[in-house]
Copies of this chain bind each other. A is one copy, B any other.
Amino acid sequence: MDNLDLKIIYLLKENSRITIKNISKKINLTAPAVKSRMDKLIKNKLIESFTIKVSSTLEKRKFISFITLFMKTTSHEQLQHFLKNNIGVLEAYRISGNGCYLIKFIYKNDNDLITFLDQISLYGTHQINTSIAQIK
């Protein structure tokens, strides 16, 4: 993992359909050398996937809420394990300020939300803020 690998990653991040030959020109290496570096980056999971960004108008509409959790127990490990394995949890942060965790939760309907809230009620109380419009 050196500077050339970082340049390859940077170029692919800008345009993942760039040709290997094109990369090789930009970083002064031959095409086979670039390919073998790319293969290694993929194998070592430094590059996780090749994908596209799609217009948000195409994505399915879903609900998003931000849940602040105030712990009443000290079962942090158990909670973190639960959060990591819940598919609705997009992001989760341990915070300092007002509360212990801030959780970004995505869901289709009220039922999904209620189920989730019931589950975290084992660990503490919560306060919930629901997005009513995404500005950005």
Say whether B95 contacts A66, CB under 8 Å: yes
- Quick one: given A9-B58, A66-B66, A102-B66, are A96 and B51 in contact (CB under 8 Å)? no
Give the B-binding residues of A (Cβ under 8 A): 9, 12-17, 45-55, 58, 64, 66, 68, 80, 83-84, 89-99, 101-102, 127-136
Which of B15, B98, B129 contacts A49 (CB under 8 A)? Answer: B15
Chain B residues positioned under 8 Å from A80 (CB to CB)? 135
The smallest C-beta distance from A108 to any residue of chain B, in angstroms, reads 18
Instruction: Classify the interface of chain A: helix, strand, loop or mixed.
Output: strand
The smallest C-beta distance from A19 to any residue of chain B, in angstroms, reads 10
Chain B residues positioned under 8 Å from A96 (CB to CB)? 129-130, 132
Say whether A51 contacts B130, CB under 8 Å: no
Say whether B129 contacts A9, CB under 8 Å: no
